[in-house]
């Protein structure tokens, strides 16, 4: 929805003004040590989102296995706060004694498995061997904007997961063909 400030796209959900949403895609090479670049458009958005919430952009992503298990998910500080609020809302109807236990359990499961990954001013970060194994990331990583989060896919696994004829599948097939990789 538009907020009247010159056309900046914002979304309001779960009580937070999450600001700019991650949109778009990139196919980036991953070297043998797990180094890969966060797409420039996503880095710029991380900074804009932090500034909109009067926070310092810390060049940090919290990365872990996506709940569906097919890819990695990356959260900036704003997405982490939004996700925590979603968890609180998900247990709000429980009696007080149950709510605290359920919230702690949900938080431990959601946040305990995330790895903090710093990226430098050029966007370079290192995906740990564990993250690469969880996401089955090898020579390339397909970054996909998913609203308030970023998905990081093994491109061939993404092709298998995306429905035939989907826009993301077509985009990824094109990007792979540009790199000489048959889909």
Residue 20: what pLDDT? 85
Instruction: Confirm whether 80 is domain-assigned.
Output: yes
**Residue 36 belongs to a domain with what CATH number?**
3.40.1550.20
Instruction: Confirm whether 97 is domain-assigned.
Output: yes
Q: For residue 84, what are the CA distances in angstroms to 19, 71, 126? A: 16, 21, 26
Parent domain of 121: 11-178
Query: What is the Cα–Cα distance from 42 to 85, expressed in whole angstroms?
Result: 23
Strand, helix or coil at 61? strand
Q: Name the residue with higher pLDDT: 106 or 2.
A: 106
Query: What is the Cα–Cα distance from 18 to 80, expressed in whole angstroms?
Result: 11
Q: Name the residue with higher pLDDT: 127 or 57.
A: 127
Sign of the Cα torsion 154, 71, 125, 24 reads positive
Residue 1: what pLDDT? 31
Number of domains in the chain: 1
Query: What is the Cα–Cα distance from 183 to 176, expressed in whole angstroms?
Result: 7
Give me the percent of the chain exceeding a pLDDT of 70: 89
Residue 2: what pLDDT? 31
Instruction: Confirm whether 124 is domain-assigned.
Output: yes
| pLDDT for 141 beyond 70 | yes
| pLDDT for 109 beyond 70 | yes
Model confidence over 52-96: pLDDT tens digits? 877 777 899 999 999 888 999 999 999 999 999 999 999 999 999
| pLDDT for 168 beyond 80 | yes
| pLDDT for 6 beyond 50 | no
70 is written with which tokens? 């097919």
72 is written with which tokens? 């990695």
Query: What is the Cα–Cα distance from 93 to 77, expressed in whole angstroms?
Result: 26
Are residues 22 and 149 in contact, defined by beta-carbon separation less than 8 angstroms? yes
> Whole-number mean pLDDT of the chain?
88
Residue 50: what pLDDT? 85
Are residues 57 and 51 in contact, defined by beta-carbon separation less than 8 angstroms? yes
Instruction: Confirm whether 5 is domain-assigned.
Output: no
């Amino acid at each position: 929805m538009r907020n009247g400030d010159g056309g900046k796209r914002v979304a309001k959900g779960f009580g937070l003004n999450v600001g700019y949403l991650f949109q778009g895609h990139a196919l980036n090479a991953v070297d043998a040590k797990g180094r890969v670049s966060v797409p420039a458009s996503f880095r710029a958005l991380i900074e804009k989102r932090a500034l909109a919430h009067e926070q310092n952009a810390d060049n940090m992503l919290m990365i872990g296995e996506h709940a569906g298990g097919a890819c990695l998910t990356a959260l900036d500080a704003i997405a982490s706060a939004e996700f925590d609020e979603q968890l609180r809302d998900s247990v709000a109807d429980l009696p007080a004694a149950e709510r605290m236990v359920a919230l702690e359990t949900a938080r431990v499961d959601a946040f305990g498995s995330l790895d903090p990954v710093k990226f430098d001013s050029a966007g370079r970060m290192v995906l740990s061997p564990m993250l690469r194994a969880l996401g089955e990331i090898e020579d390339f990583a397909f970054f996909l904007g998913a609203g308030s989060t970023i998905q990081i896919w093994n491109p061939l696994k993404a092709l298998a997961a995306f429905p035939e004829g989907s826009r993301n599948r077509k985009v990824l097939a094109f990007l792979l063909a540009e790199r000489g990789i048959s889909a």
